[in-house]
Amino acid sequence: MDNRPIGIFDSGIGGISILNELFKELKNEQFIYLADNKNCPYGNKSKKIITELSIKNCKELIKLDCKIIVIACNTSTTNSIESLRKIFNCPIIGIEPGIKPAILETKTKKIGVLATKKTLSSDIFCKTQYANNREKIKIYEQPGFGLVESLEKGVKVKSIIFKQKLHQYLFPMIEKNIDHLVLGCTHYNFLKDEIKKIIGNKITIVDSIIPVVNQTKKILNEFNLSSGKTTHGSVKLFYNSKKIPKDFINEIFKIERKEF
């Protein structure tokens, strides 16, 4: 048993889509979430910078006495998880685009991946594709330029900006007859309804939320790190920019600005 908090980080609000599910599933756990929105977006930074920022976030979570770290950011995971696991002793769980399930389930043998530029160009993403794509499934990659920035600015998901951008990014993949769309950035989970309006119900969206929750549960059990508390857990969310958009934040979370 271990009553210390679970640490989570992302470049901003995207990882809240993971945090929400973890909070629902692990009812007695305490969570600390870092939104590094001062440095957002990560998706067009170099691997070196993304790794430095990820190390900084992990150090902060360790300082805050976290027992495990969940990287709720595909860009950070695919560019830095190997380095983070060498530096830090605590278990680290990452999130990667779910291309494996999409490859296994596609009937048209064509899938699409919407992710940040740096996730799509990362070694981990390329290796996963190579290792799982024995049947030569066609994978169409599309960077979601500008989507993260607009979400962080607080642009409403139903706004014309998202409609236009999503249409521009998704239409070429729909035309290629994909039957699975992998969302490879945690921010895009908040755009699911808008994405569905464009792709319709013949294309299945694949996100990695449930696999991350299951892996977190597994690690807590394996290392005997589950909370011994019987009371309901809580979430402390820290951000380091001037402000943070509140649309996706559960009102029972405690929010605070902090330097990190």
Q: Which residues bind ligand DGL (CB under 6 A)?
A: 10-11, 14, 40-43, 73-75, 116, 119, 148, 185-187
Query: Nearest distance from residue 8's CB to ligand DGL, in Å?
Result: 12
| CA atoms of 124 and 165, how far apart (whole Å) | 27
Question: Apex CA 66: angle with CA 65 and CA 70, to 5°?
Answer: 160
Question: Residue 185 or 209: which CB sits closer to ligand DGL?
Answer: 185
Name the residue among 157, 187, 220, 24 with its Cα closest to residue 95: 187
The answer to whether residues 100 and 124 touch, using CB atoms and an 8 Å cutoff, is no
Question: Residue 18 or 225: which CB sits closer to ligand DGL?
Answer: 18
Question: Residue 5 or 12: which CB sits closer to ligand DGL?
Answer: 12
Secondary structure string (H, E, C) spanning 50-70: HHHHHHHHHHHHHHCCCCEEE
Question: Residue 111 or 185: which CB sits closer to ligand DGL?
Answer: 185
Query: Nearest distance from residue 37's CB to ligand DGL, in Å?
Result: 9
Q: Virtual CA dihedral for 256, 257, 259, 260, nearest 10 degrees?
A: 60
| CA atoms of 13 and 154, how far apart (whole Å) | 10
Question: Using CB atoms, what's the residue nearest to ligand DGL?
Answer: 43
Q: Virtual CA dihedral for 258, 88, 119, 203, nearest 10 degrees?
A: -90
Question: Residue 100 or 225: which CB sits closer to ligand DGL?
Answer: 100
Give the number of other Cβ atoms within 10 Å of residue 35's Cβ.
28
Query: Nearest distance from residue 227's CB to ligand DGL, in Å?
Result: 26
| CA atoms of 21 and 204, how far apart (whole Å) | 20
Half-sphere exposure of 211 (CA within 13 A, CB side): 14
The answer to whether residues 179 and 200 touch, using CB atoms and an 8 Å cutoff, is no
Tell me the catalytic residues: 73, 185
Question: Residue 23 or 42: which CB sits closer to ligand DGL?
Answer: 42
